[in-house]
Amino acid sequence: MLTIAKTPLRVSFFGGGTDYPQYFSQYQGAVLGTAINKFIYTVALPMVGYAESRFRITYRMVETVDEVSEIKHNAIRAALMEAGFDDPLNVAIISDLPGNSGLGSSSSFTVGFVKLVAHLQGRRITKYDLLKEAVRLELDVLGENVGVQDQTHAAFGGLNLYSFHGDDFSIRPVRMTTPARDGLNAALCLVFTGVQRSASDTLKEQMKNTAEKKVQTELKHLVDLCHEGAAILERTDACSMLKDFGALLSDGWQTKRKLSSAVSNDHIDAIYETGMKAGAYGGKLCGAGGGGFFLFLAPPEAQARLRETFGAKNFVKIEATDDGAQILNA
| Whether residue 185 is found in the same domain as residue 132 | no
Of the residues 131, 153, 174, which one is the last residue of a structural domain?
174
The verdict on residue 159 lying in a domain is yes
The verdict on residue 326 lying in a domain is no
The verdict on residue 323 lying in a domain is no
Q: What is the pLDDT of residues 121-171, one digit of tens each?
A: 999 999 999 999 999 999 999 998 889 999 999 999 999 999 999 988 899
Of the residues 174, 192, 208, which one is the last residue of a structural domain?
174
Instruction: Give the range of the structural domain holding residue 116, as residue numbers without chain letter.
Output: 3-174
| Whether residue 191 is found in the same domain as residue 88 | no
Checking if the pLDDT of 201 tops 70, the result is no
Checking if the pLDDT of 198 tops 90, the result is no
How high is the pLDDT of residue 306?
98
Query: What is the overall mean pLDDT for the chain?
Result: 94
| Whether residue 197 is found in the same domain as residue 167 | no
The verdict on residue 322 lying in a domain is no
| Whether residue 201 is found in the same domain as residue 109 | no
| Whether residue 221 is found in the same domain as residue 146 | no
Q: What is the CATH number of the domain that holds 255?
A: 3.30.70.890
Q: What is the pLDDT of residues 49-80, one digit of tens each?
A: 767 899 999 999 999 999 999 999 999 999 99
- State the pTM of this model: 0.94
- Looking at mean pLDDT, say which of 21-25, 274-278, 286-290 comes out highest: 274-278
The verdict on residue 329 lying in a domain is no
The verdict on residue 223 lying in a domain is yes
CA distances from 23 to 16, 27, 74, 206 (A): 11, 6, 26, 11
| Whether residue 149 is found in the same domain as residue 185 | no
| Whether residue 252 is found in the same domain as residue 167 | no
| Whether residue 144 is found in the same domain as residue 216 | no
| Whether residue 46 is found in the same domain as residue 79 | yes
How high is the pLDDT of residue 200?
61
Query: Among 78-82, 196-200, 324-328, where is mean pLDDT lowest?
Result: 196-200
Percent of the chain scoring above 90 in pLDDT: 84
How high is the pLDDT of residue 143?
92
| Whether residue 87 is found in the same domain as residue 183 | no
Total number of domains in the chain? 2
Q: What is the CATH number of the domain that holds 94?
A: 3.30.230.10
